[in-house]
Structure 1
């Protein structure tokens, strides 16, 4: 039998020393947020946790512990027979629960008796969360950021993906937030992660970056959908130089229709998004837009939205404070070849910026 060890910190370097990070909390807790790379091997299901908690508060602490212990024993046995069945004798797991209490220690005791060198994270998930908060809210990041900027529909997200494929360091905030960063940006098949999960994902990316190399980010507002960009990164973005993509309005409208095909094909979602515009469009304008949608003239609808909402918002944001510039890329079209050429030119400008 191995003694149970204790880990006091939750920085990525410490977590990386283990063969597996086991989150022993319920699936619902795990879904809200978890340490990067953790696997969920719950010792209590959502329903069991609720039942034990109710008994603990309303009936008897002793009965709650007895019932909880039975559930934990059965669930850990199942994990030993399935997820952990092929682990060798040298296996070194790190286990955590909500605050490093009964759930993680109960699982750790069983795993240590198997003979594995088992460690419990002191303070549990809350230790990880304190680390996230300290890094994203109480510290600054020494990043050499460059922003890809431009009017809505200028291909920024696609160019960012092409830059990543070219080996550039990229932070894709929209991918992390599961949102396209606009009023119509929600993804039907992917709800946004919780704010905590968004921050954990972001911190995992930040920890993997080389601070001596430039990092490219798409220019965003302070929120991506309902997820807020933490201050440490937002402040760095506000001061970062940027490359602006520029394309004719008609070209951008056609691109938006292609990029937002899911919204175009879901009339209820389209109507709901139109009603949420920050500047209320009024009954007559909504009716006119509805007629464009009925006629399938979505490019005209996109042009109208750009003129009323998106372009004025971009111009207002552009006037705020000093915005260091690495130049404007004029794009006659937004087809794949044009965006490839834009990505290549951005690489050239970013490398020149890094050499300064």
Structure 2
């Protein structure tokens, strides 16, 4: 057998079928990686630094000699790690990449090929993959936006649409954040910006393959910033130009929904979330909201916050070029995902 080099589009297709091994250092992998890839570092963070310094300050040959010392003692463990994962996946075919498709991926690919795996490597490495990611945001997609004030259950509506066979991308799910000052509560740590982009690009690419003339990609109406990550500007601009189906749900219904979702969190977490928006909420409203929490009037606190978020959402929605033409209100009696999803489809 021989190692086969793939261009990015071929690599992306095969990555849906076979395990991908990222042989960059654990620090590079942790920062961002191809979604679904397994970390198989040829060098750890410190070793990578030493080899890189030797390459820059001395010579390629010196760097290779140092690298081989590190590589030699890891060969058996690396083969065993790949063997275990491929056994679980019931395949002997693997994809390998490093940062630029250079010596690291070539070395690991040689070892795995020698052991009997069918090995593919990525021409240009992770750097080429990142260029592919950014290009996904330049493409035009048939997008349908689901809008609605805070507490409208938009995420659950998207899930219901997905259950009914619609193409859905949950931006807040990818960002691990619900978008408000309370959005991080109960969520895992957010991905870094680069990783968020990788996840979003993968979703867009996967959905694009399934598109037909009758299909659209459903997305929630979001601010560009979701917690600590941002929707890429060029893609966000495309979202803002699309029609919005606005779930028009009574205030009291949404307030009850918010109480169920966030009322379970500790007072300390809720107070800290209120303090985070103090400047925009205003001193008096902040004080009143916190006093409500202290006095166990959770509903009173959330009523203040819901009015604040309603104003903010409305102001943001009007920044579209043609809000009157783009925003279509869908009257809904309650926050019921199944009922509201059916209304959207009708």
Please state which band the TM-score falls in when normalised by the shorter chain. Answer: 0.7 to 0.9
What residue is the counterpart of 2:276 in the other structure? Answer: 276
Q: Which moved more, 1:324-333 or 1:21-30?
A: 324-333
The superposition leaves residues 128-175 of structure 1 with CA deviations (integer Å, 9 ceiling, x where unpaired) of 011112222xx232x221111111111111111111111111111011
Q: Compute the displacement of 1:333 (Å).
A: 2.8
Tell whether the 8 Å contact from 2:136 to 2:204 is kept in structure 1 after alignment.
no
What residue is the counterpart of 2:77 in the other structure? Answer: 78
Tell whether the 8 Å contact from 2:278 to 2:286 is kept in structure 1 after alignment.
no
Alignment partners' CA distance in 1, 2:9 and 2:100: 13
Tell whether the 8 Å contact from 1:10 to 1:128 is kept in structure 2 after alignment.
no
What residue is the counterpart of 1:29 in the other structure? Answer: 28
Alignment partners' CA distance in 1, 2:39 and 2:85: 17
Alignment partners' CA distance in 1, 2:50 and 2:237: 45
Alignment partners' CA distance in 2, 1:285 and 1:347: 39
1:164-313 pair list within 5 angstroms: 164-209=162-207, 210-212=210-212, 213-261=215-263, 265-277=265-277, 279-307=279-307, 309-313=308-312
> Do the aligned partners of residues 12 and 248 (structure 1) sit closer, same or farther apart at CA in structure 2, a change above 3 Å counting?
farther
Gaps of 5+ in 1: 349-356
1:106-185 pair list within 5 angstroms: 106-136=107-137, 139-141=138-140, 143-185=141-183
Greater helix content: 2
Alignment partners' CA distance in 1, 2:251 and 2:92: 58
Gaps of 5+ in 2: none
Q: Compute the displacement of 1:93 (Å).
A: 2.1
Q: Compute the displacement of 1:327 (Å).
A: 4.0
Alignment partners' CA distance in 1, 2:24 and 2:39: 7
Q: Compute the displacement of 1:234 (Å).
A: 1.6
Alignment partners' CA distance in 2, 1:111 and 1:57: 28
The superposition leaves residues 97-119 of structure 1 with CA deviations (integer Å, 9 ceiling, x where unpaired) of 11112211111111122233323
Tell whether the 8 Å contact from 1:194 to 1:227 is kept in structure 2 after alignment.
yes
Alignment partners' CA distance in 1, 2:220 and 2:17: 34
For these two proteins, the number of residue pairs brought into alignment is 338
Tell whether the 8 Å contact from 2:157 to 2:337 is kept in structure 1 after alignment.
yes
Alignment partners' CA distance in 1, 2:248 and 2:27: 44
Tell whether the 8 Å contact from 1:99 to 1:124 is kept in structure 2 after alignment.
yes
Alignment partners' CA distance in 2, 1:103 and 1:6: 14
Where 2:181 maps in the other structure, the secondary structure is coil
Question: Is 1:346 aligned with 2:331?
Answer: no
> Do the aligned partners of residues 97 and 157 (structure 1) sit closer, same or farther apart at CA in structure 2, a change above 3 Å counting?
same
Q: Compute the displacement of 1:207 (Å).
A: 1.2
Where 2:345 maps in the other structure, the secondary structure is helix
Q: Compute the displacement of 1:19 (Å).
A: 2.9
Q: With the length of structure 1 as denominator, give the TM-score of the two structures.
A: 0.84
The superposition leaves residues 184-231 of structure 1 with CA deviations (integer Å, 9 ceiling, x where unpaired) of 211455111111111111111111223331121111111222221123
